[in-house]
Amino acid sequence: MESLRRQVFEQLLDAFDEPVLVANISQLDWPVVFCNPALEVTSGLSSSALKAQSLADIIEQITSREVALEASQAVRARRETSIPVQIDRSEFMLILKPLRTKLDAEAIYYAAFLRRTRGGVSGSKGSGDEIIHQALAKARHRIGDLSREDPISGLLNAKAFREVFAHDWAVAAREQCSLTLICFTLQDFDGYLTVFGRHAADTCFRRVSQTIKRYLRRASDVAARIDDDKVIVLSHATVETGAMEFAENIAEAIRELGIHHPRSSVGRFMTVRHKVAAQQANKELASSEKFIQEML
């Protein structure tokens, strides 16, 4: 009976003109378990190639990195959302919907599909209802972001990061794999604040934070402001040596920003020191918080 239901489900979605995929989010990399022919046409990738990638990576390839980051946050929060996107000058709504069954306490699958808006091509007016719908979708999404965003850095705030990390820790524990944390500390940041004042210090912190964000390898990686002078990154890289090289590249990029720092003890410009550690996840949630505290 279960096999029959799957066949009917696949036949139904194969008939859709809209690109559709379903991903298993109970696994760490959110692998794609189904995609229809319309998605193959839109992405230019075969079904086997699509299923070899994660949900976040496919969204990034089809749309943009910023959209993929927004989608990743929605999936981790287990919320349904609509994100306006533009592909080849055509306007779409990327709709993300958690799929639940009576047997599951929470969603283990997520559906993502692209719905062309009635406005069609970028620049056309569309109907009044369509414009209002898109505006409301943007507003709802932005309100959700504001509750999870640190206003100075533009990254996740500490509370949201701990929620994300607890979720990924639980998934990693089921899969018996490791997670990597990288902590960046702005060196002598108190001295910078003393010389230039709060406004300049906030601007400096944001520039550093956005540089770190640009270097994130995958949309499923997460950066957050965790303290007054610290940014923490959750990476799904399993090789600690690779994460160390990644951190060193970011540190060099921050140094090259050339932010003048007269109170720096290590040079003329703002720099960061970094700490990298990988840890095998286990079923104890307290262990995840202990891991974070050890990095600070």
Q: CATH no. for residue 30?
A: 3.30.450.20
Under 8 Å CB-to-CB from 159, ≥6 apart: which residues? Answer: 148
More confident residue, 52 or 209: 209
Cβ-based neighbour number of residue 84 at 10 Å: 17
Number of domains within the chain: 2
Domain assignment present for 190? yes
Mark which of 89, 121, 146 sits at the end of a domain: 146
Mean pLDDT of 88-110: 79
The pLDDT value given to residue 226? 93
Tell me how far apart the alpha carbons of residues 4 and 9 are, in angstroms, rounded to a whole number.
9
The pLDDT value given to residue 168? 87
Record the pTM: 0.70
Question: Which CATH number belongs to the domain containing residue 283 in this structure?
Answer: 3.30.70.270
Mean pLDDT of 223-233: 95
Same domain, 128 and 163: no
- Per residue in 5-35, pLDDT (tens digit) is 677 777 888 888 889 999 988 887 788 988 9
Same domain, 35 and 60: yes
Strand order in the sheet with 222-227: 222-227, 230-235, 178-186, 272-280
- Per residue in 231-266, pLDDT (tens digit) is 999 987 666 668 899 999 999 999 999 999 999 999
- Per residue in 107-147, pLDDT (tens digit) is 688 999 998 876 544 444 455 555 555 555 554 444 445 46
Mean pLDDT (the chain) is 83
46 pLDDT higher than 70: yes
Same domain, 129 and 165: no
